[in-house]
Amino acid sequence: MEILIFILGACVGSFANVLAIRTTESRNYIFGRSKCPKCDSQIHWYDNLPLISFLLLKGRCRQCKESISIQYPVVELVMGILAVVFYVHNSSFLPYILLMGMGTMLLVITLTDLKEKFIYESHLYSLLAFSICYRYLIIDVGIMDTLLGVGLFGGFLLCLRFIGRIIYKREAMGVGDIKMGFILGILFDWQLAVVALYLSFISASIVGVYLLLFKKKQIKILPFAPFIAFGSILSVVYGNKIIYAFLSII
């Protein structure tokens, strides 16, 4: 069953690629055939199979032989893995569909933030809809716990923005990141919000240090949405286990 779930996830990842790329290019993501970005030739269905086509074509367009961006198979692979992780976490139909919806939108937001350092409102609205449905239909959490989660997650990012403006005279946190924090806070009580924030910042720190030490890159702006997405997904799936493990240590 997990193999079928992985294939389904890879197909969803292919759609996430289309949604992210066509949004940044202001193209219709529902209608219109996929085209090679290099030669503009239409891509046939058999050259558009998630992961498989990339391997069979050896990462090159069938027509112009130019290389295909590694983004396509990587996103399909990541979404395939996420699909299996979500299925293992909760295989019931409605929770799984909502988790996949949230995961897809987080992946799309990650892609657009990495490419343009911008988070689109339409993607945030979709994430909000999935988050609200998951909160009220699936999670057994009181309204006060939810408000604490929203306030802590989004409020902490908002405070960082003001602190950065006062101390460093620049924006330390984007508006899109803050909105994302408030939306994802719907999913958590205050404890899980702390876990999500911690995982977000620790993963961003690891990547930042790696880029500085090994890539010798001067980091002016590090897109933070990918790390918020990473921390939030881990907190949704494994947050309670992380809290239990931490409490058992102390």
- In the numeric block, the tokens 């933030």 are attached to 113
Read off the pTM. 0.91
Q: Which amino acid, residue 146?
A: T
Q: Of 8, 211, 194, 230, which Cα lies nearest the Cα of 113? A: 230
Determine the average pLDDT of the residues in 215-231: 84
Q: How far is CA 31 from CA 42, 104, 221, in A?
A: 13, 19, 34
| pLDDT confidence bin for 31, thresholds 50/70/90 | low
Kindly tell me if the per-residue pLDDT of 1 is higher than 80.
yes
Task: Say what the pLDDT of residue 30 is.
Answer: 63
Task: Say what the pLDDT of residue 172 is.
Answer: 77
Task: Say what the pLDDT of residue 83 is.
Answer: 97
Long-range pairs, 171-180, Cβ under 8 A, ≥24? 173/224, 174/117, 174/119, 174/224, 174/225, 176/113, 176/118, 176/119, 176/124, 176/225, 177/119, 177/224, 177/225, 177/228, 178/154, 179/119, 179/124, 179/154, 180/109, 180/119, 180/124, 180/127, 180/225, 180/228
| pLDDT confidence bin for 29, thresholds 50/70/90 | low
Kindly tell me if the per-residue pLDDT of 57 is higher than 80.
yes
Least confident of 115-119, 168-172, 237-241: 168-172
Better-scored residue on pLDDT, 38 or 212: 212
Q: How far is CA 203 from CA 41, 127, 198, in A?
A: 39, 22, 8
Q: Which contiguous run of DSSP H or E holds residue 48? A: none
Nearest 5°: the CA angle 245, 248, 249 is 90
